[in-house]
Homo-oligomer: A and B are copies of this chain.
Amino acid sequence: MFAENVVQYLKHSHNNEGRQYSLQKVKFETDYQEGASPEILERLISTNLEQTSGYGYDSHCTRAKELIRQEIHRPNAAIYFMAGGTQTNTTIIKHLLTPCEGVISASTGHINVHESGAIESTGHKVLTLEGHNGLIDAEELRSYMEAFTADPTNEHMVQPGMVYVSYSSELGTLYTKSQLATINTVCADYGLKLFVDGARLGAGLMSDESDMSMSDIAGLCDAFYIGGTKNGALFGEAVVFPEPETLNLKQFTTLIKQQGGLLAKGRHLGIQFEVLFGDGLFYRNAKHANSQAMKIKRAFTERNIPFLIDSPTNQQFPILTPNQHEALSEKFSYEMWQPMNDGRIAVRFCASWATTDEAIDALIQEIQHLP
């Protein structure tokens, strides 16, 4: 059968041909700089001429949802597919909050910094707690809620209605199961919803330092999403409400439409998640990304180059001297993250499902020879 050959072709070409950027720098900027897992492309091709109804009412979406429900051991979970992270965050938060409620986030949270005010565009304030390497501290959350509750003027304030956390976080870090459980308890005590942004959920779960499964995540929050875009999909995120009974989701598809997130050819989302969760590709992709990132981490560590954050996932944040940056940036591109007070610069190297051994080897070699 021809279509299978697509995978062979792409896997073959992965290392030997088709990389036409020899004259350009090897990119470690982010985890969405390549196309998609070959298995996904193959399935798009083999299903291309099927005729299906639009907007997710097709057998692929149905099956992908079933696979995710099995994965989290929750047969009643409500699942929706959307095309990108910002629209996913915005739609979930808009659905779960009343007009007077805001969402509590670490100051570094994606919704607070890099979504152009999408949450505010729906009328909701992002209430910030100082993050600790990208993570909220449960006790600080409790103190915040105690102070809010005790404030005699709180009727004139945005009402905290939800806590937003990321797993893995924007800085590559992870909550332990115990930490997330404690946050969950504070939320329960104060009637707050808990939402886990899983744009990089795969990288989080497959970290050697993670003590959680996807089912654990599902058991500790009201909603989370499974990021496809940053883990080998062309695009796509899967929204999961593990216990939908009390969340009044009857209008959620209409809200996705209102927010501009309802893909006409919705099956393209179903097909991708079918592939990702059919035989563990979701986890293999993330494991590969983490594994390549750990090689980068070791290489910097061996040179005693410090890190801004000790990240156990696919994002690494070494702090370079100007000379080191000058040398590295000749052959590699990566993200400028944060200038340090002493003239050094923290940068981000990101590995993905598609990062090749060749690229890693070339990078390591360069690191070993840094000034």
Contact = CB atoms under 8 A, between A and B. Distances in A.
A124 interface: yes
A345 to B, nearest CB: 12
Contacts of A262: 84, 86, 156
Interface of A: 2-3, 5-6, 9-10, 13-14, 18-21, 24, 26-27, 29-30, 32-36, 38, 41, 44-55, 83-88, 90-91, 94-95, 98-102, 113-118, 120-126, 152-153, 155-159, 229-230, 234-235, 248, 251, 253-255, 257-265, 268, 335-336, 354
A45 B6 contact: yes
B155 A254 contact: yes
B123 A156 contact: no
11 contacts: A9-B45, A33-B51, A33-B53, A86-B257, A94-B99, A98-B248, A101-B251, A118-B258, A159-B251, A234-B268, A235-B264
Nearest to A45: B41
Contacts of A55: 155-156
Contacts of A30: 54
A126 B125 contact: yes
A116 B258 contact: yes
Query: Most B CB atoms within 10 A — which of A9, A88, A94?
Result: A9
Contacts of A54: 29-30, 32-33
B258 A260 contact: no
A171 to B, nearest CB: 14
Given A117-B100, A254-B100, A49 B19 contact: yes
Given A235-B265, A354-B49, A254 B336 contact: no
Given A84-B264, A116-B100, A235-B265, A21 B51 contact: yes
Contacts of A88: 260
B36 A51 contact: no
Contacts of A122: 99, 121, 123
A114 B18 contact: no
Given A113-B157, A257-B86, A263 B235 contact: yes
A230 B29 contact: no
A251 B100 contact: yes
Given A24-B51, A84-B264, A123-B123, 15 more contacts: A27-B52, A29-B54, A30-B54, A35-B48, A41-B45, A55-B155, A83-B83, A83-B235, A86-B257, A117-B124, A121-B123, A125-B126, A155-B257, A156-B254, A235-B264
